[in-house]
Amino acid sequence: MSMSRGSVCRRCLLTMKSMAGGGPTSTYAQQRGKKTWHGPKYQAKIDQAQADWEERAEKIKKGEIQHTWDMFVERGYVKDTAGSHETIRKLMLHKRIGAYTGIDPTAPSLHIGHLLPLMPIFWMYMHGYAGYTLIGGATAKIGDPTDRLVSRTPLKRTDLTMNLTKIHYQLKALWMNVEEQARRRGFEKDWAWKRAVVNNSTWWNSLPLIEVLKRLGDSMRMGPLLSRDTVKNKMSKGDGMSFSEFTYPLMQGWDWWHMYQANGIQMQIGGSDQYGNIVTGVETVKVVRDNEPDPAKKIEGGPFNDPVGFTVPLLTDSAGVKFGKSAGNAFLDKFQTSEFDLYGYFVRRSDQEVEKLLKLFTFLPMENINEAMKIHSENPARRVAQHLLAFEVVGLVHGMNAAHRTALNHQARYGKQIDIPGVTLRMPKAATEDTPPSILDAPKMDMQLPESLIMGKSIGRILYAAGLAKSASEGHRLATQQGAYIGAMPGHKRTEDNKVMDYSQLSFTPIKLWFPQETRNYLIDGKLLILRKGKVQIRVIEMVSDEEWKESGQTYPGEPGTGALRMLRQQLKMLKSGMLTPDEVKANLKNHVEEEAPPPGFMKFPDQDSYAIRRATQELMDEIHQKEVGGDSPREERRE
Ligand SMILES: Nc1ncnc2c1ncn2[C@@H]1O[C@H](COP(=O)(O)OP(=O)(O)OP(=O)(O)O)[C@@H](O)[C@H]1O
Ligand SMILES: N[C@@H](Cc1ccc(O)cc1)C(=O)O
C-alpha cells in the first residue's frame, strides 16, 4: 500500500492496511480480524475496490480530486463534530466507512428539513462510501425527548404503521432519484457502492433486555447521563422524564452499534439538535464494543475503528424556527406539497439565502453554482438562481421528468420565460400503457374502505376496490397467482390469528385466495390493512364503518349500486330530462364497466347486481330508441 504514514501510529497503520477499501465487506468479521471466505470472483472484486480506494486517496493527497470532507466543509454541511476534523478527514481518506442518519416516523411525510442530513449521506454514497438511512420504527414508540420540556403524545399504533410505510417508500424513491442524480453528474457507479433503508425495529423486536443491560448498562455511568441538558431541563423546568425517554439516546446509540458491527457504519450524521445523541452514541458504541466477552469477536479500538459523527446546521423558517412538521410546509410527499408548490417554495427563497441553499440542497459542482450566482447578480429580478434551486430540488425529490414538467408548468402559469443556467427545458415523455409503474408516479397510498367490503368480500374484490386490479376477476387472478402481497409476518402461508404484521416493522407475505372472513386476521390494530402489488404499488387502507363510509360520499370500484348501475341510471335521468342526446349517451356507454368474472374454480350465480344492470340497460336502450325514432319503445311495440 502506497500511503504515507504521516502522524499515524504503527498499530493504526496495521489496522488501516487490513481495512482500507474494505468497502461493504468491512464488517464485524473483518474488523475483528477474522478471515471470511469469499469465492475467487468476489475476492477479485474486493481487491479491485481496495485498489481503487487507495488510488483515490493518492489523488486526494496530490490535490487532483477534492476530499469529500473538505467538500462538506466548503458547502456548509458541517456544524459540530464528534471527533476532530483531522481524525474524520484521515478516516475518510483511508477507509471506505459507512454513514447513517435516522428519522423517527412521527409524521406521514419527510420534509425539507430532513433532506439536510440526508444530503451528506447521498454525497458519501456517490463518492463510494456506504450510505444508510434508518427509519426509527422502534425509537418512534418512545419519542426523542431532545429539546423538549413536555413529553410527546404517544403515537397511535395505526399512525405509526401508516407513517413508517409512507416514509419507507419516500426514502426508496429518494434513493432512486439519487441514482439518477449520480448518473447526471457523471459519477460512475461501481460494485462497492452500497445503500440501504433499514428499520431499527428489525433488531429491537428481537433484542433481549439482558444483552443491552450487560453490554451497555454495567459500564454507562449515571452521572454524565443525568448531566445532559435535555435531562436537566426536562426534569427541572418541564414535565419530568420517564425512564424510556431517559434511555432514548442509548437506544439510538445501540442502533449505531448494531450497524457498526454488522455493516461497518462508523459515522452518524444528524441535524444540530442531534449532537447530544450522537456524542452519547459514540460512547455507547465504544462501551458495547469493548465489553465483548468473547475474545475471538473483539473489535480493536483506535482512531481507525472508533465511531465519529457530525451535525448539519438546522434549517429554519423566516422567523428562525426549526423547519419541521409545523413550521413551514414543504413536504416531500407530493400529495401534501405538490411538485408545483415545492418548486414555488424554492423560487420564493430570498437572494440572501439562495447561494447557501444551492450548496446544501443540490449536487451542482461549485463552479456551476458560482457561475449561476454571477448570472443571477446581473439581474436578480429574473430569479435565475432560485429557479435553478427549485429545478434541482424538485429533480431530486420527484425525479428529473417532474423537474422539467414543473418548470414548464410554472412558465405557462406565470407567462414568463424561465432561464435556468445549464438547463434546456424539455417536455417529458408521457408514460405509455406498458411502462411499469414507478415509485415516483405511484398514486396516493393511503385510503379508506368500508367494513362491509373488508370483512365480507373476497380479497379479489378488495384488490379491485383498492385500485390494485382493473376488475374483481383480475384481483382473483392476482390472488391465485400470488402476484399481490399483504402486510403480514413473512413466511406465513396460512391465515391464522397473530400472523398480523408487527405495527412497527413493515413486512409482506403473498396473498392467497382465502375465505372473505379470513381477511380480518391481517388487520393491524383491528383497522389497518396494507396491500402491495409489484414493488411499489402500495395501499395503506383504513377500515371505516359503513355509516362513516356513506357519510364520506366516497365510492370504490365495484361497489354495489355504484359503477355500472349508477352510471346507467344517471344516463337515463339525463336523457329523460334532455340534458344529454341519445348519441351522447351511446358514446358514454362505450366506457362501460367490465362485468366481474368468477374466480377460477368458482361457480357464478346470477346475482342481484347483474340482474339490476341488465334491467337498467334495457330501460336506457328503450329510452334511446324512443328518443331517436319518436313514439313507442320497442318493448311496447312488441307488447302490442
Ligand atoms: N429543520 C431541520 N434542519 C436540519 N435538520 C433537520 C431539520 N428537521 C429535522 N432535521 C433532522 O432530521 C433528522 C430526523 O428528524 P426528526 O425525526 O426528529 O424530525 P423532526 O421533524 O425534527 O421531528 P420532531 O419534530 O418530531 O422532532 C434529525 O437528524 C433532525 O435533526
Ligand atoms: N433521534 C432522531 C431519530 C433517530 C432515531 C434512531 C437513530 O438510530 C438515529 C436517529 C431524531 O429524532 O431526529
The pLDDT of residue 214 is above 60: yes
Report for 55-59, 496-500, 592-596, 600-604: range of highest mean pLDDT? 55-59
Q: Contacts from 58-61 at CB under 8 Å and sequence distance 24+?
A: 58/2, 58/3, 60/93, 61/3, 61/4, 61/93
Domain stops at, among 552, 585, 617: 552
Q: CA geometry: angle at 140 spanning 496 and 161, to 5°? A: 35
Q: What is the pLDDT of residue 24?
A: 35
Which residue's CA is minimally distant from atom 8 of ligand 2? Answer: 252
Radius of gyration, CA atoms only, the chain: 29
Both 536 and 580 in a single domain?
A: no
The string of pLDDT tens digits covering residues 309-319 is: 999 999 887 77
Tell me if 107 sits within 8 A of 170, measured CB to CB: no
CATH number of residue 192's parent domain: 3.40.50.620
- Residues 455, 408: one domain? no
The verdict on 147 and 179 lying in the same domain is yes
Give a yes or no: residue 254 inside a domain.
Answer: yes
Q: What is the mean pLDDT of residues 17-32?
A: 43
For CA atoms 117, 119, 121, 123, the dihedral sign is negative
At 117, the pLDDT band (50, 70, 90 cuts) reads very high
Going by C-alpha positions, the residue among 383, 312, 264, 276 that lies closest to residue 123 is: 312
514 lies in some domain: yes
Say whether both 349 and 496 belong to one domain.
Answer: no
What is the C-alpha to C-alpha distance for residues 132 and 73, in angstroms, rounded to an integer? 21
Flag whether pLDDT at 463 surpasses 80. yes
User: Domain range for residue 343?
Assistant: 338-414
Nearest 5°: phi and psi at 22?
-60, -25
- The helix-helix angle for 564-576 and 582-590 (nearest 10°) equals 170
Residue 174, in any domain of the structure: yes
Q: Residue 322 CA: which ligand 1 atom is closest?
A: 1
pLDDT digits (tens, 9 = 90+) for 72-109: 999 999 999 999 999 999 999 999 999 999 999 999 99
Q: What is the pLDDT of residue 489?
A: 77
Q: Is residue 9 part of a domain?
A: no
Smallest CA separation from ligand 1 atom 29, residue: 270
* pLDDT the model gives residue 447: 94
Rounded Cα distance between 273 and 276, Å, is 7
- Are residues 109 and 196 both part of a single domain? yes
Which cell numbers hold the place of 365?
A: 459542482
Residues belonging to the binding site for L-tyrosine are 100, 144, 248, 252, 255, 274
- Do 502 and 522 contact (CB within 8 A), yes or no? no
Q: Is 105 close to ligand 1, i.e. is its CB under 6 Å away?
A: no
- Residue 14 near residue 5 (C-beta atoms within 8 A): no
Collapsed DSSP state (helix, strand, coil) of residue 98:
strand
CA dihedral (439, 441, 442, 443) in degrees, to 10, reads 160
- ipTM of the complex model: 0.96
Same domain (yes/no): 348, 487: no
Residue 499 has a pLDDT of 67
Q: Is 271 in the pocket of ligand 1 (CB under 6 A)?
A: yes
Digit-coded pLDDT (tens) for 148-183: 888 888 899 999 999 999 999 999 999 999 999 999
CATH number at residue 387: 1.10.240.10
**What are the φ/ψ torsions at residue 171 (nearest 5 degrees)?**
-65, -40
Which of 100, 101, 109, 114 has the most ligand 1 atoms within 8 A of CB, as the residue to mutate? 114
- The ligand placed nearest to the CA atom of residue 102 is 2
CA distances from 72 to 88, 101, 120, 272 (A): 12, 16, 7, 15
45 in a structural domain: no
Q: Which stretch of 111-115, 231-235, 462-466, 606-610 has the lowest confidence by average pLDDT?
A: 606-610
Considering the domain architecture, whether residues 396 and 468 belong to the same structural domain is answered as no
CATH number of the domain within which 506 lies: 3.10.290.10
Give the CA distances from residue 591 to residues 471, 563, 567, 594, 625, in Å, rounded to whole numbers and listed in that order: 14, 11, 10, 9, 20
- Reduced DSSP (H G I as helix, E B as strand, rest coil) percent helix, strand, coil of the chain, to 5: 50, 10, 40
CA-to-CA dists, residue 577 to 114, 276, 562, 580, 618, angstroms: 56, 71, 21, 8, 18
Please give the distance, rounded to the nearest whole angstrom, from the Cα atom of residue 279 to the centre of ligand 2: 13
Using DSSP's 3-state secondary structure scheme, residue 446 falls into strand
Most informative mutation of 110, 114, 134 for ligand 2 (most atoms within 8 A of CB)? 134
User: Is 133 close to ligand 2, i.e. is its CB under 6 Å away?
Assistant: no
Cα 151 to Cα 172: distance, rounded to the nearest angstrom? 31
The whole-number average pLDDT for the span 211-234 is: 90
Give percent of the chain above pLDDT 90: 57
- Distance, CA 570 to ligand 1 centroid (Å)? 51
Of the three residues 530, 552, 574, the one that is the final residue of a domain is 552
Domain count, the chain: 4
CA of 117, nearest ligand number:
1
Arithmetic mean of pLDDT, 619-637: 69
**DSSP structure string for 449-510:** EEHHHHHHS-HHHHHHHTTSSSSHHHHHHHHHTT-EEEEB-TT--S--TT-BPPTTS--EEE
Residue 366 lies in a domain: yes
pLDDT given for residue 433 in this prediction: 61
Residue whose CA is at the smallest distance from ligand 2 atom 9:
102
Q: Give residue 75's pLDDT.
A: 98
Residues 610 and 546 reside in one and the same domain: no
Residue 537 has pLDDT above 60, yes or no: yes
- Give the number of the ligand closest to the Cα of residue 115: 1
Q: Does residue 441 have a pLDDT over 80? A: no
Res. 307: pLDDT tops 50: yes
Residue 255 near ligand 2, beta carbon < 6 Å: yes
Band of the pLDDT at 590, cuts 50, 70, 90?
Answer: low
Binding-site residue set for ATP: 104, 325
Please indicate, yes or no, if residue 52 is contained in any of the structural domains: no
What per-residue confidence (pLDDT) applies to 553? 84
In a domain, 19, yes or no: no
Express each pLDDT in 42-59 by its tens digit: 888 888 888 999 999 999
Per-residue pLDDT for 391 more than 90? yes
Per the prediction, the chain carries an average pLDDT of: 85
Q: Are residues 393 and 461 in the same domain?
A: no
Same domain, 206 and 351: no
Question: Once rounded to an integer, what is the mean pLDDT over residues 268-278?
Answer: 96
* pLDDT surpasses 60 at 327: no
Angle between helices 68-75 and 112-126 (to 10 degrees): 150
274 lines ligand 2 (CB under 6 A): yes
Q: Are 387 and 479 members of one domain? A: no
Q: Please state, in angstroms and rounded to a whole number, the distance separating the CA atoms of residues 80 and 277.
A: 12
Residues 355 and 455 in one domain: no
Ligand 2: nearest atom to the Cα of 140: 5
pLDDT value of residue 416: 84
Residue after which a domain boundary falls, among 552, 582, 617: 552
Atom of ligand 1 lying closest to residue 105 CA: 17
* pLDDT confidence of residue 604: 43
State residue 473's pLDDT score: 92
**Ligand nearest to the Cα of 110, by number:** 1
Residue 139, ligand 2, Cβ within 6 A: yes
Q: How far is the CA of 252 from the centre of ligand 2 (A)?
A: 6
CB 408 within 8 A of CB 425: yes
Q: Is residue 188 scored above 50 in pLDDT?
A: yes
For 515-559, give the DSSP string: -GGGGGGG-BTTTEEEEEETTTEEEEEEEE-HHHHHHHT---TT-
* Residue 331, pLDDT above cutoff 50: yes
pLDDT band at 128 (very low <50, low <70, confident <90, very high): very high
